[in-house]
Amino acid sequence: MEQFRNIGVIGRMGSVKVVETLRQLKQYLVANNYQVILEEDTASILPGHGQQVASKRLLGEICDLVIVVGGDGSILGAARELAKSKIPLLGVNRGRLGFLTDISPSDLEERLSKVLKGEYIVEHRFLLDGHVERNGKPLGFGTALNDVVLHPGKSTRMIAFDLFIDGHFVYSQRSDGLIVATPTGSTAYSLSAGGPIMHPKLDAIVLVPMFPHTLSSRPIVVDGRSEIKLVIGETNEAYPQVSFDGQMNIACAPGDIIRISKKPFKIRLIHPTDHNFYATCRDKLGWASNTTAS
């Protein structure tokens, strides 16, 4: 197991509870002789912290581990910035669901102590890259850990688009858009739209139509190496958007082309040794507990 000495810390902005946990975390790490490097925005909400400060990108170059305090959205933002550096991420949950941030503030020091001693498991999660083209020229680019979503933005009109997978025409569709999700994102927006839950170890991508104008349109699961192309219909009156993890948007126009494929770099998520995907689903999604007699 890796030895962690230089530990980066990122916290979600705008939450008093996050600040409380950040102070507790910093105090614990400093007391145990770890080098703490605060992400620059995080440092701004911890006046008098006395620690080194760095940008997210620099954290990936100088740290052995980055701890993210917040919700799953905080992990998503950190993952996009740090994927290329291959630095492991550990999440402390101060959000709502917490599929990716599975250490609770109530037992932070106990569980963190075990992780820092080498008692942890590692998950590798892939991301998606999305490129938007207009008239054969690049218009915009984004990366997503959860999903790339074509949606109408503020418009209430349906979007007409063509779907191609690995160069093969699949269908033309009129709908509110399409969710292209990784296994990580299968428990997020994709799940709300009726998509399947996929185990994080799967090398697969799911395409989930949003309110399609046909009852026969269903989610499709494809190989994770697939190249997905969306062509926005020339006759569209709406100007849709492409979002990446719901945190970045690119405005599109009729005729634009969106290309989506797996990113060459994966992120590494650190979990305590008792982490279990199915137990997380049971807890976060309210699945029934075992009813069989012991």
Binding residues for NAD(+): 72-73, 146-147, 157, 174, 176, 187-192, 247
Read off the amino acid at residue 203. D
The 10s digit of each residue's pLDDT in 268-293 is 999 999 999 999 999 889 898 776 64
Residue spans of beta strands (DSSP E) within 88-158: 88-93, 120-134, 137-144, 147-151
The answer to whether 232 and 243 are in contact (CB under 8 A) is no
Lowest mean pLDDT among 80-89, 90-99, 192-201: 90-99
CATH class, range 6-118: alpha beta
Query: Which pTM was predicted?
Result: 0.93
Q: Is the pLDDT of residue 294 over 90?
A: no
| Catalytic site residue from 72, 102, 245, 256 | 72
pLDDT at 290: 72
The answer to whether 257 and 231 are in contact (CB under 8 A) is yes
The segment(s) of the chain belonging to CATH 2.60.200.30 are 127-264
Q: Is 72 a catalytic residue?
A: yes
Q: Within 10 Å of residue 101's Cβ, how many Cβ atoms?
A: 25
- Residues in the chain, total: 294
The answer to whether 227 and 165 are in contact (CB under 8 A) is yes
Question: How far is 286 from 269, CA to CA, in rounded Å?
Answer: 24
CATH class, range 127-264: mainly beta
